[in-house]
Amino acid sequence: EVQLVQSGAEVKKPGESLKISCKGSGYSFTTYWIGWVRQMPGKGLQWMGIIYPGDSDTRYSPSFQGQVTISADKSISTAYLQWSSLKASDTAVYYCARDLYSSGRYGMDVWGQGTTVTVSS
Amino acid sequence: EIVMTQSPATLSVSPGERATLSCRASQSVSNNLAWYQQKPGQAPRLLIYDASTRATGIPARFSGSGSGTEFTLTISSLQSEDFAVYYCQQCGNWPPRFTFGQGTKVEIK
């Protein structure tokens, strides 16, 4: 079964750092892009950026460039999303998803279960 | 950045009726468009990719159409499990800026 499993919920204080993870299984992790999507409370989906684990080519939405870092460790089939200094406005659910772009199709077909990040003093 | 605009924001439909959801791109995205369904507390689920191809396991009552800047998701006969929020996403430009629409909530009339 193809799946992405994300790390558990986090509660952090403003200014703290955080790294959440997304582990793929059941497919060739290095040959599909992995995207990250933010969903703030009660709001819609926001595309944050994408990484190709095969060579770590990473692209960001202009809205998130410089705010987060996306990385991957292909040896353990895991992608990451990290913050160096969290803000209250980073409170959201974060999803990772497999992107079909490298196979010439357009969409994100497998999603992680989401990681809830709460930032509060 | 390409802006995706969905309409209406909310659609009230009775079970068994047809629902038509629209998505407009601020510039042409060819057929590089996907549709997702999201229910409360759940991750989004891919329904349609490449504007008109149903994803694996998606019932035939869901269909997508359009190209360029105008797209439509049609649910031919709404079932109780179809009441949810639906998002379109353009996903083909490079460098990637795979923006989502703001969503359409399909609710029970």
CA nearest to B5, candidates B23, B30, B28: B23
Q: Does the CB of B99 have a partner CB in chain A at under 8 Å?
A: yes
B78 touches chain A (CB under 8 A): no
- The answer to whether residue A58 neighbours chain B at the CB level (below 8 Å) is no
Query: What span, in angstroms and rounded, lies between the C-alpha atoms of B66 and A120?
Result: 44
Which of B75, B82, B36 minimizes the C-alpha distance to B55? B36
Average pLDDT per consecutive 10 residues, chain A (121 residues; last block may be shorter): 98 98 97 97 97 96 96 98 98 97 90 98 96
Confidence of residue B96 (pLDDT cuts 50, 70, 90): confident
B48 close to A (CB below 8 A): yes
C-beta atoms of B100 and A45 within 8 A = yes
Please indicate if any CB of chain A lies within 8 Å of the CB of B55.
Answer: yes
In eight-state DSSP terms, residue A86 is -
Residue A103 C-alpha, separation from nearest chain B C-alpha, in angstroms: 12
Q: Give A35's contacts in chain B (Cβ within 8 Å).
A: 98
- Judge whether residue B92 has pLDDT over 80: no
Read off the pLDDT of residues B20-55 as tens digits, 9 standing for 90 and up: 999 999 999 999 999 999 999 999 999 999 999 999
Report pLDDT digits (tens) over B46-90.
999 999 999 999 999 999 999 999 999 999 999 999 999 999 999
Nearest to A37 by CA among A64, A2, A55, A18: A64
